[in-house]
Amino acid sequence: MNMVVQEMNFSSEKIFAFTVLLLMLLSIIVIIHNENIVNNKFIKAIDITGAEGIRSFASYNELRDFISKHLSYNIIPVFGVTVTKLESSVPTTMSEQSNYYSKTNVQVEGVDELDIVKTDGRYIYVASNNTVYIIMAYPPKDSKIASKIVLDDKIIGMFLFNDKLAVITSKDSNDNYEVSIRIYNIKNRNTPELITDLSVNGFFFESRAMKDHIYLIVKAPVIKIHKTFLWGTSNPNIFESIEFPVIKINSTIINIPANQIFYISGSNETYYEYTIIVAFNVSSYENPTVGAFLLGDANTLYMSLHNLYIASARWKVTPVLNSIPIIVRNFYETTLIYRFSVSGSDIKYEASGEVPGTILNQFSIDEYDGYLRVATTKWNAKPKNDIYVLSVNNMKIVSNITDLAPGEWIYSARFIDDRCYLVTFKKTDPLFVIDLSNPAYPKVLGWLKIPGFSNYLHPYDETHVIGIGKDTVEVEQGDFAWYQGIKMSLFDVSDPQNPKEVAKYIIGDRGSDSPVLHDHKALLFDASRKILALPVLVAQKDNPNTPPYEYGKPVWQGAYIFNVSLEKGFVVIGRISHLNTTMNSTSNLFYEGKYFVKRILYINDVLYTISDKMIKMNNIKDMSELNKIIF
């Protein structure tokens, strides 16, 4: 009996010892696994060393507590409204094949922007719906579809890196929402090979590329997307409904660690979401750099050669607004701007600044010679417009010009070196020329008031600027004007105190439109050839004497090609459409139509117009048709 008890005790001791050993091993495994994530075995962290006012979370529980406290009044966030940007072209240097070809029309030279069309001077890469077509395009007589990549997700755009093609896609179905970067080896254009698939849970916000690196910014909800909570009430279920940012690299799923999720200490935002930044080197197998930030309503991105800026609209809660949804831009009061220094895959948060008012788009922000210049519109009984100059180093305001064009809104802005060109509009179009050569003392040099307005400003040369927008007709009674056809202006700013409109051209009547009015990247401009091309939808009235508020009927869609010179202004040298008379129905004329020309580029002396179903090739000198490919 004693022997049996002793044997049982011995067995219990063995079991206990084995259990302790097993628990120790499991603890070590867990520690190693956690250390792998924290020590960046899979992802590198964004650096916040030395930056003031930014903190990371010690644990997911601390993150939950923070979100529960600040989002007790959260409502359903608004996502998925980012417009796919239509890229176009500016001249570049000779390619390896000695072909002279156009590239994406970007804001900052050296910083590429996402595009639905890319070319390397021989092949053209076209994203149409959920398919990427790789077209052998030059010479046109040999053009053909070399291969295609069919995807299940929506294609946002592409970047081209020599023999690698990066395709950025988005998925949004029920609770499944993610943005992916798919890298393809295209050394053999006939057989593209997927080599990397990186995905982030969230919705596409913006992306840029420099050299061999892609910078992807994704916005993600902090609360499960179908959960609704009332403003100003206690919501105990928030704690269980909080989401955490996730990244997937090929088949490896990684929860972004709490210490790589950041917030601004002392901030008291009325709305939070994750703004996730990913930097990825397409030419190496190094780990991507990843960080998630609680920044409020991030709405604009600007990137220079050295810094990435994210702007976030902000407004203050007052008791009067307690029953109004959070996402109402008319109530935004200020804009927070966060600066991240960028060097390859190394990203470091540096500083943030705040300016009154809201910004229109990426062209409202510009970095130059150690200073950040920002154009804003603020609302107080009526709109007023300001220019702010901030020190890049600490993001503090150095100087400003306030209360420009009271009662009007900014329609376009363009910072070119030490000047700002600003267009505001309500009834007529004031073009302001603003001197920023002394950052401490900016001043308005001159302005010009003419009918119409410009949605986009593009430099022509050192003393001339092109404006593209709408013509207008002022009402006889009232303080507004009726939009008319597309208006193109050439402004002479050689005498900044007396800017002049030296040439103009108007396309169509009221109802005419162009993607350029909403997205600068739909424009092709070649300064050396003095060629400007843009996609347009032309609307015409049957009776030109009808009232200015009546719309014309859509009659044509395609590309207008101009020669632009100081001597002759805008001269039409060609019109190219993908529609024939049998296809010229109203549905085909609009942007959703399969043959709507969205993109225009050139390779040597061949002009390519691109729609979702066709590439047409024309001689750039006489516009004669050379060939076409139908997808």
Under DSSP, the state recorded for 588 is H
Measured CA to CA in angstroms, residue 351 lies from 51, 135, 294, 310 at distances of 6, 44, 15, 11
Neighbouring-strand partners of residue 289? 44, 279
User: Is a pLDDT exceeding 90 seen at residue 316?
Assistant: no
Residue 116 near residue 614, CB atoms below 8 Å: no
pTM over 0.75: yes
- Per-residue buried b or exposed e for 5-33, using 16+ beta carbons within 10 Å of the residue's own CB: eeeeeeeeeeeeeeeeeeeeeeeeeeeee
Contacts with 141 (C-beta within 8 Å, 6 or more apart), sequence order:
626, 627
pLDDT in tens, 183-192: 999 999 999 9
**Angstrom distance (rounded) from CA 52 to CA 511:** 50
262-269 mean pLDDT: 77
Direct distance between the N- and C-terminal alpha carbons of the chain, in angstroms, rounded to an integer: 88
Contacts with 514 (C-beta within 8 Å, 6 or more apart), sequence order:
468, 486, 507, 522, 534, 535, 536, 537
**Angstrom distance (rounded) from CA 264 to CA 250:** 32
**Angstrom distance (rounded) from CA 374 to CA 494:** 23
333-362 mean pLDDT: 95
Residue 253 near residue 263, CB atoms below 8 Å: no
* DSSP labels, 3-42: HHHHHHHHHHHHHHHHHHHHHHHHHHHHHHHHHHHHTTSS
pLDDT in tens, 209-228: 999 999 999 999 888 765 55
pLDDT in tens, 547-589: 999 999 999 999 999 999 999 999 999 999 999 866 555 666 7
User: Is a pLDDT exceeding 60 seen at residue 72?
Assistant: no
| CA atoms in the 13 A half-sphere facing the CB of 495 | 7
Phi, psi angles (nearest 5°) of residue 171:
-130, 130
Among 67-71, 314-318, 449-453, which stretch is predicted with the lowest mean pLDDT? 314-318
**Angstrom distance (rounded) from CA 524 to CA 116:** 14
User: Is a pLDDT exceeding 80 seen at residue 14?
Assistant: no
Q: What pLDDT is stored for residue 13 in this prediction? A: 58
Q: What pLDDT is stored for residue 581 in this prediction? A: 62
Tell me the pLDDT band of 540, cut-offs 50, 70 and 90. very high
What mean pLDDT is reported for the chain?
85
Q: What pLDDT is stored for residue 74 in this prediction? A: 44
| CA atoms in the 13 A half-sphere facing the CB of 626 | 20
**Angstrom distance (rounded) from CA 29 to CA 566:** 72
**Angstrom distance (rounded) from CA 595 to CA 609:** 10
Tell me the pLDDT band of 27, cut-offs 50, 70 and 90. very low
**Angstrom distance (rounded) from CA 614 to CA 188:** 23
Residue 35 CB neighbour total at 10 angstroms: 11
Of all residues in the chain, the percent with pLDDT exceeding 70 is: 81
Residue 299 CB neighbour total at 10 angstroms: 19
- Per-residue buried b or exposed e for 369-395, using 16+ beta carbons within 10 Å of the residue's own CB: eebbbbbbbbeeeebbbbbbbbebeeb
- Helix or strand or coil: residue 601? strand
**Angstrom distance (rounded) from CA 501 to CA 289:** 48
Tokens of 630: 């139908």
Based on C-alpha coordinates, what's the Rg of the chain? 28
The highest-confidence range among 7-11, 84-88, 584-588, by mean pLDDT, is 584-588
Q: What pLDDT is stored for residue 17 in this prediction? A: 56
